[in-house]
Chain A
Amino acid sequence: MSKSKVGEDVYKKVEKVNAELFVLTYGSIVAQLCRDMSYEHVNEELEKMGYNIGIRLIEDFLARTEWQRCVDFRETAETVAKVGFKMFLNVTPVVTDWSEEDKTFTLTLDDNPLGEFVELPVEARSKLWYSNILCGVIRGTLEMVQMDVDAYFVHDILRGDEHTNLKVHLKQILKEEIPAGDD
């Protein structure tokens, strides 16, 4: 069964929440954080929040899709894009720009649902990555399946670039830790 088909099927079955409510809630979180701290700190906070979401989200994902272990990092990328993003945000980013050793790829989001209605203030344009929570989510979910990755934005339409691009870089595969006491 193709990944897109799985993504669509699961998306049809999950409970939906009003998109505007979600987007406005996320917007007020980011706006409040921007009032409380500097833009660099906001980026870090969003990433941490995303990480906390990600480590729990993976359970939800695995429960709904019953996905088996991916064969290689390429398959992981396709799964994240076509099944993961589709299920939770109803968008399908495109996986592009693979590095030579298949360790880095880029996700291009054609329309970022989080950024609806948003206009960044002028000072934020060079410092804030508005959807940084997504980077944290990716890092958290992949860490729970034994992949240590770095996820970061490189372009954002809200900043004036042409596309929204997120780079994911695999640092290492984490070995499964055997609990102490087992032989």
Chain B
Amino acid sequence: MVKLRLVFLAIAGPKNEQLYLEVFDSLEKSLLSKYQYLSELSLDVIQDLVQNPERTSNDCFLGLLGVEEDISTYAFCSNTNVKFILAVRSSDFVVRESEIRQLLRRIYTIHTHAVCNPFSLELTPDTLKQSLYFNETLQQLSLDWNNQ
């Protein structure tokens, strides 16, 4: 079976609390704690990047954060300090940064759509898990991307 290119997606709120962590390959559920650790690491990197006084660009897309074994993580930070961390498997495939940028943008858009639901009050870890729209669209996005 071809290994899926997308490994996991983590979303963290303004206070770095974890809102969402989705592992795309269902066979890798056992590696959940490893991925949680990776996402915490990435959050630290993001914090450094964002607070760096020498930072010139105000781009929301933070680019490649780091590579660990064969997984590279990319991040996107919105204006409301909601952080999106996407991990892709980089050993077998060549990954273009523009594609990741586009994908993260679209994830941001569907996240915004899900949050605009009037019946979801605060941004808790449950909100995004319960949102059918978010889950289904994310599945679709990842399938499309993996099939490219």
Contact = CB atoms under 8 A, between A and B. Distances in A.
A111 B119 CA distance: 20
Q: Chain A at the B interface: mostly helix, strand, loop or mixed? A: helix
Interface residues of B, number: 11
B132 interface: yes
Nearest to A25: B118
A27 B121 CA distance: 12
Interface of B: 113-114, 116-121, 131-133
25 contacts: A20-B116, A24-B118, A27-B116, A27-B118, A27-B119, A28-B118, A31-B118, A31-B119, A31-B121, A116-B116, A117-B114, A117-B116, A117-B117, A117-B118, A118-B117, A118-B118, A119-B114, A119-B117, A119-B119, A119-B120, A119-B131, A119-B133, A120-B119, A121-B119, A124-B119
Nearest to B120: A119
Report, as a range, how many residues of chain A touch the other chain.
10 to 19
Nearest to B121: A31
A30 interface: yes
Contacts, number: 32
Interface string A109-142: 0000000111111001000000000000000000
A6 interface: no
Please list the 4 inter-chain residue pairs (A to B) with the smallest Cβ-Cβ separation, ordered nearest first. A27-B118, A117-B116, A31-B118, A119-B117
A91 interface: no
Most A CB contacts (10 A, CB to CB) among B117, B121, B131 go to B117
Given A24-B118, A30-B118, A117-B118, 14 more contacts: A20-B116, A24-B116, A27-B118, A27-B119, A28-B118, A31-B118, A116-B116, A117-B114, A118-B118, A119-B114, A119-B119, A119-B132, A119-B133, A124-B119
